[in-house]
C-alpha cells in the first residue's frame, strides 16, 4: 500500500498493465454485475437533474427503468447506484455497433450536459472505498477484463497511466503528479525485491 494525501493505493494500481479492449469485451462491465454503477450523492442528484436531457440519448427500456425506479437506487448493500434494466444491464447503457456505451457520456460529448459519467465508471477497474479519514483505491479483478489485461501487457501500459484522465478528474493534476513520482519509487522497490 502507498499513501498520497488522503488516498491509500494498492500496489496493483502501479504494477498491473491494463487497456480496455472494447472490440473484444464489448463493454461487458456495463452489462454484467450484481448492481448498478456506484454513485455518490452529488452524482445521484446530478443524474436526477439531468435526466430530461440524458433520456433523449437512452434506449426506451432504459428510460422506462429510470422512470419506474428513479435516476438512482439503493442496492442490497445499501449503496447508491444506477438502476438496472430487469436486474441486468445499467439503465443508462446504449449500444453502438454491439458495444455497450453510456448515454450519460453521449450527452456530455454532445455538449448537452457538463457531467461526463459516474466517476466509478470512469475509474473502473479501480474501485474507491470511502472511509472516515481516507479513501482506499484498489484494483478490482474481473474475468471479463482479461482482454484488457492482455492488451495492457502487449502495450506495456500501467493501469494508473491508462486511467490518467479519470484519476486527474477525481483527485486533481497535482495529486496525479505525485502519483507518477510514487510509481518510480514503487518500480525501484519491486525491481529490487525481485532480484
- What does the pLDDT read at residue 10? 87
Q: Is the pLDDT of residue 29 over 90?
A: no
Residues in Cβ contact with 15 at an 8 Å cutoff, skipping those fewer than 6 apart? 158, 186, 190
Closest CA to 18 of 166, 129, 185, 171: 166
- Separation of alpha carbons 152 and 171, rounded Å: 23
Cα 159 from Cα 193, distance rounded (Å) = 21
Q: Cell numbers at residue 139, please?
A: 484494483
Report the distance separating Cα 169 and Cα 147, nearest Å: 25
Q: What tens digit of pLDDT does each residue of 135-174 get? A: 899 999 889 899 999 999 999 999 999 999 999 999 999 9
Q: Determine the straight-line distance between the first and last CA of the chain, rounded to whole angstroms.
A: 21
Give the C-alpha distances (Å, rounded to integers) separating 92 from 10, 22, 73. 30, 17, 13
**pLDDT(40) > 50:** yes
pLDDT in tens, 92-142: 999 999 999 999 999 999 999 999 999 999 999 999 888 888 989 999 988
Amino acid at each position: 500500500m502507498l499513501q498520497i494525501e488522503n488516498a491509500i493505493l494498492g500496489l496493483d494500481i502501479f504494477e498491473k498493465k491494463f487497456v480496455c479492449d472494447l472490440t473484444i469485451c464489448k463493454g461487458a462491465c456495463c452489462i454484467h454485475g450484481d448492481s448498478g454503477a456506484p454513485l455518490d450523492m452529488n452524482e445521484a442528484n446530478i443524474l436526477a437533474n439531468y435526466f430530461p436531457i440524458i433520456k433523449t440519448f437512452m434506449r426506451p427500456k432504459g428510460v422506462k427503468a429510470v422512470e419506474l425506479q428513479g435516476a438512482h437506487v439503493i442496492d442490497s448493500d445499501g449503496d447508491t447506484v444506477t438502476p438496472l434494466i430487469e436486474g441486468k444491464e445499467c439503465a443508462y447503457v446504449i449500444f453502438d455497433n454491439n458495444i455497450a456505451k453510456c448515454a450519460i457520456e453521449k450527452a456530455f460529448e454532445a455538449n448537452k450536459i457538463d457531467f461526463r459519467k459516474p466517476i466509478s465508471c470512469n475509474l473502473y477497474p479501480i474501485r474507491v472505498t470511502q472511509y472516515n479519514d481516507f479513501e482506499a483505491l484498489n484494483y478490482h479483478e474481473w474475468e471479463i477484463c482479461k482482454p484488457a489485461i492482455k492488451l495492457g501487457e502487449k502495450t506495456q501500459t500501467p493501469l494508473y497511466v491508462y486511467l490518467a484522465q479519470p484519476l486527474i478528474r477525481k483527485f486533481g493534476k497535482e495529486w496525479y503528479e505525485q502519483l507518477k513520482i510514487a510509481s518510480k519509487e514503487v518500480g525501484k522497490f519491486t525491481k529490487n525485491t525481485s532480484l
